[in-house]
Amino acid sequence: MIIGVGIDVVDVARFGQTLERTPRLLQRLFIESERSMGLNSLAATFAAKEALAKALGAPVGLRWVDASVLRDEDGSPHLKMWGTVQARADALGVVGLHVSLSHDAGIASAVVIAES
């Protein structure tokens, strides 16, 4: 059963300008292994975290660094959660997540489906 669906779209150039203006956002939004990614990948990862939060009902108190986008051997993305994000998923009975990422023409996007 689907518990939630989230989608997010990020303007890559504007996201890059925001990161340049506020460098501390890298630490607030991304775990250490994500911080070295290129701007398109950072924007898509941020979109995935936003979409995940929406799929979980966007409760107050989720920490951006309590979720990460990882890649399978074939390059397919999947989400890993811990801390505040995992606690919310557990409270909702989430047992599976599906994520799709894209970036093209200056836009990064992500869709997340949470299922029980």
Which structural domain, as residue segments, surrounds residue 95? 2-115
For 39-77, what is each residue's pLDDT tens digit?
A: 999 999 999 999 999 999 988 899 999 999 998 999 899
Q: CA 68 to CA 82: how far, in whole Å?
A: 9
Count of domains in the chain? 1
C-alpha 83/C-alpha 37 separation (Å) is 23
CA 70 to chain CA centroid, nearest Å:
10
Task: Report pLDDT for 111.
Answer: 98
Q: For residue 62, give the DSSP letter.
A: -
CATH of the domain at 102: 3.90.470.20
Residue positions counted in the chain? 116
Amino acid at 86: Q
pLDDT in tens, 68-115: 999 899 989 999 999 999 999 999 999 999 999 999 999 999 999 999
Quickly list H helices, the chain.
12-21, 25-29, 39-55, 83-92
Predicted pLDDT of residue 59: 86
